[in-house]
Amino acid sequence: MQVFNYSENQKWFERATRVIPCGVYGHFSPAPCVPTNAYPFFSTRADGCRFWDVDGNEFIDYMCAYGPMIMGYHNSVVDEAFINQLKQADANSIASTKMVELAEFLVDLIPVADWAFFAKNGADVTNYAVMIARAETGKKKIIAIKGGYHGTAPWMQGIGHPGVTEEDVANVIRIPWNDLKALEQALEENYGQVAGFISSPYHHPVFVDNEYPAEGYWDGVQKLLKKHGAVLICDDVRAGFRLHLGGSNEYFKFKPDLICFCKAIANGYPISALVGKEELKVSASKVFHTGSYWYSSAYMSAAIANLQELKRLNAPEYFEKLGNKFNEGLIKIAKDYGFNMKITGHPSMAYYRITDDPSLQLHQRWCAECTKRGAFFTSHHNWFLSMAHTEADIQKTWEICEEAFKALKSST
């Protein structure tokens, strides 16, 4: 099996460092790609569940643009909806009726939604949700989960990070996941001050195993928040439409007041949404929140087409079936080579970890060996499946995984 060369990637990276901080910044930066020389940094094209880098290397993509690519790159139905609307109008001086159509579609699709609001990125709507919670309750503090990610706004970053002041994070209380006592304690200690609780539907941090809610956890959360008059915000930016088309809360059987969606909503076209209960609509109307491109209608058309396709194809069921099959095979292959592969989280976006080395170095080396052979895996983050991944792709990926285990075995 061919092991990839990244000479053109390196040339482009050198060019990038001269004009761009970090070369490539944010979650696409080289920092979590260990070792960096096993990873590509620049692509030339993508199609289905594959992308090609500037060296011409072909990858089966298990990061799916870190979640947005849910139908597959270049999905003809979604792309056609986008292009057709683009021809009519996109950025404009007044809103498009597509905005109303998309809001109606989401209100029908998502049981807790009585209204919808659109922006571009996940952080746009997590910020908006927090502002609505504060406007509704007249309180300042927000409770969040340790290790939970809700964007890069200063209030959501950790203390000590460059550009973040102590004041920025002063009103955010971090508690452990699945810990109702900690939530109760935080609410009691900050009695009358907590505006809301923001959390993903299940815990999917980076670098550590993902965790589902414990039995009765979300029931307990809802009761405590109701008692204290705090708003429940579900950050479904990463998991949204993968576990359940009505929102991941339906999968885990709880009813948030606000739900934030982004990544998978439009198959890579930039749009995010906040949906909420009727009771919060007036507060939502009072919070001024807007952006230059938040009314672009082509992306709204893409979102409608994408969600219709996910519904038509019953995407969550497909992900569950394909993901479980992939995982079972992968666990067996690892075992055949003497390794223990632990898989946590939902099959459509599971987190993988070779447990034989707690420092993660073994897992990092294995992910690197897979990537160098054409299965694009990162070692720190959950992976993603798309509707374009097929059983044939899974088979090909298993072969790559096996070669990587062989390489690992021969070097240890």
The residue range among 60-68, 71-79, 120-128, 155-163 that interacts with other proteins, by the rule CB under 8 A, is 155-163
Contact predicate 373/2, CB 8 Å:
yes
Quick one: 277 or 380, whose CB is closer to other proteins?
380
**Near other proteins in 37-56, by CB under 8 A:** 37, 41
List 361, 390, 395, 412, residue binding other proteins (CB under 8 A): 361
Cα separation, 255 vs 224, in Å, equals: 13
15 is an interface residue for other proteins by CB under 8 A = no
Quick one: 3 or 22, whose CB is closer to other proteins?
22
The residue range among 30-38, 106-114, 235-243, 382-390 that interacts with other proteins, by the rule CB under 8 A, is 30-38
Angle 97-109/297-312 helices, nearest 10 degrees?
30
Q: What is the DSSP letter of 91?
A: S
What are φ and ψ of residue 261, in 5° steps? -125, 150
Q: x/- contact string, 58-97, with other proteins (CB under 8 A)?
A: ----------------------------------------
The residue range among 15-23, 226-234, 237-245, 328-336 that interacts with other proteins, by the rule CB under 8 A, is 15-23
161 is an interface residue for other proteins by CB under 8 A = yes
170 is an interface residue for other proteins by CB under 8 A = no
List 94, 166, 317, 411, residue binding other proteins (CB under 8 A): 166
The nearest distance, CB 29 to other proteins, in angstroms, is 5
30 is an interface residue for other proteins by CB under 8 A = yes
Cα separation, 159 vs 172, in Å, equals: 10
What strands, in cross-sheet order, belong to the sheet with 50-53?
43-47, 50-53, 58-61, 375-376
404 is an interface residue for other proteins by CB under 8 A = no
The nearest distance, CB 58 to other proteins, in angstroms, is 22
List 75, 210, 364, 397, residue binding other proteins (CB under 8 A): 364
Distances (CA, A) of 345 to 147, 245, 252: 15, 17, 13
335 is an interface residue for other proteins by CB under 8 A = no
CA dihedral 22, 26, 32, 34 (to 10 degrees): -40
The residue range among 60-68, 131-139, 272-280, 353-361 that interacts with other proteins, by the rule CB under 8 A, is 353-361
13 is an interface residue for other proteins by CB under 8 A = yes
- Number of residues forming the site for other proteins (CB under 8 A): 33
Quick one: 34 or 265, whose CB is closer to other proteins?
34
**DSSP letter for each residue of 33-83:** SSSGGGS---EEEEEBTEEEETT--EEEESSGGGTT-SS-BT-HHHHHHHH
Structure tokens at 255: 């009813």
List 25, 216, 278, 340, residue binding other proteins (CB under 8 A): 25
Cα separation, 60 vs 319, in Å, equals: 16
36 is an interface residue for other proteins by CB under 8 A = yes
Cα separation, 347 vs 319, in Å, equals: 7
* Max intra-chain CA distance, the chain: 63
Q: x/- contact string, 99-138, with other proteins (CB under 8 A)?
A: ----------------------------------------
359 is an interface residue for other proteins by CB under 8 A = yes
Classify each residue of 350-371 as buried b or exposed e, where b means 16 or more C-beta atoms within 10 Å of its C-beta: bbbbbeeeeebebbbbbbbbbb
381 is an interface residue for other proteins by CB under 8 A = no
162 is an interface residue for other proteins by CB under 8 A = yes
Contact predicate 229/193, CB 8 Å:
no
Structure tokens at 227: 């008692």
34 is an interface residue for other proteins by CB under 8 A = yes
378 is an interface residue for other proteins by CB under 8 A = no
List 44, 88, 207, 314, residue binding other proteins (CB under 8 A): 207
Structure tokens at 377: 């895996």
List 24, 64, 230, 334, residue binding other proteins (CB under 8 A): 24
154 is an interface residue for other proteins by CB under 8 A = no
> What is the amino acid identity at position 80?
E
Contact predicate 139/283, CB 8 Å:
no
Cα separation, 216 vs 220, in Å, equals: 6
State the residues that interact with other proteins by CB under 8 A.
10, 13-14, 17, 21-25, 29-32, 34-37, 41, 146, 158-162, 166, 174, 207, 358-361, 364, 380
